[in-house]
Amino acid sequence: MTRTLSLGAFLMATGHHVSAWRHPDVPANGGLDFRLYKRLAQVAEAAKFDALFVADSVAAPTGDIASRMARSDHFEPLTLLSALAAVTERIGLVGTVTTSYNEPYHVARKFASLDHLSEGRAGWNLVTSDAAAEALNFNRQEHFGHAERYARAREFHEVVTGLWDSWEDDAFTRDKTSGQYYDPAKLHVLNHEGEHFRVQGPLNVARSPQGRPVIVQAGSSETGRELAAQTAEVVFTAQTSLAAARDFYNDLKGRLPRFGRSADDLRIMPGVFVVVGQSQAEAQEKFEAFQQLVEPQVGVALLSRMLGNFDLSAYPLDGPLPELPLTDSGQRSRQLLLTELAGRENLTLAQLGRRIAGGRGHYSLIGTPAQIADELQAWFEGGAADGFNVLVPHLPGGLEDVANHVVPELQRRELFRRDYSGSTLREHLGLKRPANRYTL
Residues annotated in a binding site: 56, 96, 146, 150, 220-221
Longest dimension (CA), the chain: 78
Size (the chain), residues: 440
CA 18 – CA 14 distance, rounded (Å): 9
Contact present, 418 and 43 (Cβ < 8 Å): no
CA 194 – CA 156 distance, rounded (Å): 10
Q: Counting beta carbons within 10 angstroms of the beta carbon of residue 387, is it exposed (0 to 12), middle (13 to 18) or buried (19 or more)?
A: buried
Residues in contact with 298: Cβ distance below 8 Å, sequence separation at least 6, in sequence order: 18, 19, 65, 68, 69, 353, 357
CA distance to 110, 229, 278, per residue, from 218 (Å): 21, 12, 32
CA distance to 14, 99, 406, 423, per residue, from 151 (Å): 34, 10, 40, 34
CA 119 – CA 418 distance, rounded (Å): 22
Binding residues for FMN, as ranges, are 56, 96, 146, 150, 220-221
* Cα 363 from chain centroid (whole Å): 15
Torsion (CA) 107, 187, 194, 128 in degrees, nearest 10: -20
CA 366 – CA 287 distance, rounded (Å): 8
